[in-house]
Structure formats: C-alpha cells, structure tokens
Chains A and B, each alone.
Chain A
Amino acid sequence: GAVVSQHPSWVICKSGTSVKIECRSLDFQATTMFWYRQFPKQSLMLMATSNEGSKATYEQGVEKDKFLINHASLTLSTLTVTSAHPEDSSFYICSAMGQIGEAFFGQGTRLTVV
C-alpha cells in the first residue's frame, strides 16, 4: 500500500514556542491531505483539509491562526502549531487519500508542551 511518512514522531516544546510537523506521501502524489488530532482513548478529530496550492479548509472550532497548514507540493503538507500551550498537547495524525477514498496515515506525532 501507499506510504505516508510523518515527522517527528514525538516532540517536546516549551510553552509559547512553535512546532512544525511534516507529512509526506512517499510513493504517490496527494492533492489532498488531512490533519487529525486525537485525545487519549478517543477517536480522531478532523482538524483541517490540506489542499495543494491553496488554502486549507478548517473544521468548525479549529483556530486557523494557531494551526497553520501549508501544502506546497503534491507530496508534502506541514502543520505548524504556533505559540503552543499545554492544552495543545496531543497526538496529531496526517493522512493522504488514495484514488477511491481510502486514507493512508502517517505514524502520528506526540506533541507535549511544557
């Protein structure tokens, strides 16, 4: 199956700093990628749809200025958590869609803000 690589796997940052998470489709092109947030023992919450060459589409309640998404190429989308606070600590997962709508997921990034 298709491979999606997410980096870093985990990161610890100080409150007030920004963190960038990368999501790459390694063996296919993805015009659309998705960013999810997952709280402990809960399902995935869709944060935004990342569209190559255009602005991301954010879900209701997700702060656009806090969670900056850039999809500069057909194989790379980035999520930047700006001015991170402890409540932003979470597991962030990206996915890229295949031709029939199946999602290929990255390994996830565990963000801890201290």
Chain B
Amino acid sequence: AQSVTQLGSHVSVSEGALVLLRCNYSSSVPPYLFWYVQYPNQGLQLLLKYTSAATLVKGINGFEAEFKKSETSFHLTKPSAHMSDAAEYFCAVTSGGATNKLIFGTGTLLAVQP
C-alpha cells in the first residue's frame, strides 16, 4: 500500500522568501513521486516528478524537490517565492505504469505575502 502525508495544510511566506512544502511517503515498492499545483477552479498541473533517476529533480517555475529514501521524503522547494506561486500544492505517489492509481496527499495551500 502507498500513502502520502503533507505536513501543513497552510503555508504562508513573504515574497522573495524560501518556499518549503513537506511531503512524506509510504510505499512497499519503489515509488514514483510527483508534485502538482492547482489554481482555483482549474485542474492540476505537473510541477515535477521523480521516477528513480536523479534524486534532485528540477521542475517548472523554479521549483525543485529532493527524493530522500532514508527519510521517505520528497519536499518541494523554491528559493524565492513569487506572488504567482500562491496556489494549492499536492504531492502524489504511484508505483508507476499507465494503469496505476495516483495517491494524493491532502494538499498544502501556499499564500505569498507582499
């Protein structure tokens, strides 16, 4: 069985500050891990993905995440927050393949203060 835990349902940062959104996973098989972003009344957009290659993954909009097996973590970071980063962020895990379900975390709402 697989699961994802996102610590912090709300995170608030100042514009220009570091963004850190936490995600821990549980998986009995090697996981594939993803971060998605959702803007109000829209679908989810893929930010980045880990699929057993490099442990430091770079995504769109300046985001990156590091897969740490020893900590079962896949935290999302961005060095400098922008107002346009304000959105809901979801971490997700799957065991891979085109027919396997994605298991989502509960989401973290990121607010960026001017």
Residues of A that sit less than 8 Å from B by CB? 1, 4, 6, 30-32, 34, 41-44, 46, 49, 91, 93, 95, 97-108, 110
Given contacts A44-B104, A49-B101, A100-B51, contact A105 B45 (CB under 8 A): yes
Q: Which of A32, A42, A99, A105 contacts B44 (CB 8 A)?
A: A105
Contact A101 B100 (CB under 8 A): yes
Residues of B that sit less than 8 Å from A by CB? 32, 34, 36, 41-46, 49, 51, 90, 92, 94-102, 104-107, 109
Contact B43 A108 (CB under 8 A): yes
Q: A34-B102, A49-B99, A105-B45 given. 5 additional CB < 8 A pairs?
A: A6-B43, A32-B98, A97-B97, A102-B46, A103-B34
Contact B102 A103 (CB under 8 A): yes
Residues of B with C-beta under 8 A to A98: 98
Residues of B with C-beta under 8 A to A105: 36, 43-45
Contact B104 A101 (CB under 8 A): no
Complex Cα–Cα for A95 and B34 (A): 14
Residues of A with C-beta under 8 A to B104: 43-44
